[in-house]
Amino acid sequence: MSSATEHVKCLIIGSGPAGYTAAIYAARADLRPVLYTGIVMGGQLTQTTEVENYPGYPDGIRGPEMMENFRKQAERLGTDIRFGYITAVDFSGLPHKVVVDETTTITADTVIISTGATAKWLGLESEQKYNGFGVSACAVCDGFFFKGQDVAIVGAGDTAAEEATYLAKLCRKVYMLARRNEFRASKAMVSRVLNTPNIELLYDTETKEILGDGLNVTGVKVINNKTNATTDLQVTGFFVAIGHHPNTDIFRDWIDMDAVGYIKTRPGSSLTNVEGVFCCGDAQDHIYRQAITAAGSGCVAAIDAERYLAGKEHLVTA
């Protein structure tokens, strides 16, 4: 790691609701935060269309526009927002070191990790084409748009089971597509699915193509991988629930994580196992994964960082 060219009090990594909210609070606490946006400036919400469940927007708002509002607010309050990608960190001692775009090393008294998570996709061209126009990776975010309609959900883990039952309350019918002849989900979740009459389970079923009229989803072509029989299901919504990957690989050598890579935080706080390093948003939350919960946890991280720094100043002057 090259020698540092700059020192900052509070470095925030990531530009989703968690990162920008941490920036708003850190800036107002006079921590002069520097925020690196990452490659997808604005995070996962820039890939959605309408957001209706974020309080304060009575008529809903488009995801990219909402994230632009977050950015402007963080900037107006004094955050130094930079387009760049953190490629390595060294948390072996204080101050912490981070490398930007493989070239510049910066040191920081506090680091707030808000790098988020990425939904896994099937990898079909039609899935990309209709993403936001019937294809979604979040039932809680987008299920409402399919009220009274027929939808399909792919996956057989806890997320898929939970989201299928959530969708079943809103939609007329939910096809659940499991690629094997069994679930990965826990027994309790499976029994909820099996006891929901408007969920039709299709085992040994894979998605071949998402069908559409050029604008919106109109159906899904599935194949039974035992019989090779294909079927077109008439649906207007297609939900992908095959897991998420937290964007935490660069922290693996330093921070405690679970087996999947979600960063462990001390319950009720954003504290990680490393002094002065805090984590918020989807990088540490595999359960709720909502813009509002991410934003709330960003606030927590900034307050934790501010209190940590205040404690250090107290020690220096004592």
Residues that bind ligand NDP (CB under 6 A): 122, 154-160, 162, 179-180, 184, 242-243, 286-287
285 in active site: no
Residue pair 306/31 in contact (Cβ under 8 Å)? The answer is yes
Residues 6+ apart with CB under 8 A from 62: 49, 50, 51
Closer residue to ligand NDP in complex, CB, 129/192: 192
Q: Catalogue the long-range contacts made by 288-293 (C-beta closer than 8 Å, 24 or more residues apart).
A: 289/117, 289/138, 289/244, 290/53, 290/140, 290/141, 291/16, 291/17, 291/45, 291/51, 291/53, 291/54, 291/66, 292/17, 292/53, 292/54, 292/55
Q: What is the nearest approach in angstroms of ligand NDP to the Cβ of residue 122?
A: 5
Classify residue 3 by its DSSP letter.
P
Q: What is the nearest approach in angstroms of ligand NDP to the Cβ of residue 156?
A: 3
Helical axes 187-194 vs 158-170, angle rounded to 10° = 30
| Chain position carrying tokens 């520097």 | 34
138 in active site: yes
CB-nearest residue to ligand NDP = 157
280 in active site: no
Q: What is the nearest approach in angstroms of ligand NDP to the Cβ of residue 286?
A: 5
Closer residue to ligand NDP in complex, CB, 48/159: 159
- Of the candidates 10, 141, 171, 280, the residue annotated as catalytic is 141
Q: What is the nearest approach in angstroms of ligand NDP to the Cβ of residue 160?
A: 6
- Of the candidates 109, 142, 282, 285, the residue annotated as catalytic is 142
Q: Is 313 exposed, middle or buried (0-12, 13-18, 19+ CB in 10 A)?
A: exposed
Closer residue to ligand NDP in complex, CB, 173/184: 184
Taken as a whole, the chain contains a residue count of 318
Strand bridging mode 237-240 / 135-136: parallel
Closest CA to 45 of 21, 24, 79: 21
What are residue 218's phi and psi, to 5 degrees? Answer: -120, -10
- Of the candidates 10, 109, 138, 279, the residue annotated as catalytic is 138
Closer residue to ligand NDP in complex, CB, 154/274: 154
Closer residue to ligand NDP in complex, CB, 215/259: 259
Q: What is the nearest approach in angstroms of ligand NDP to the Cβ of residue 121?
A: 8
Q: Which residues are catalytic?
A: 138, 141-142
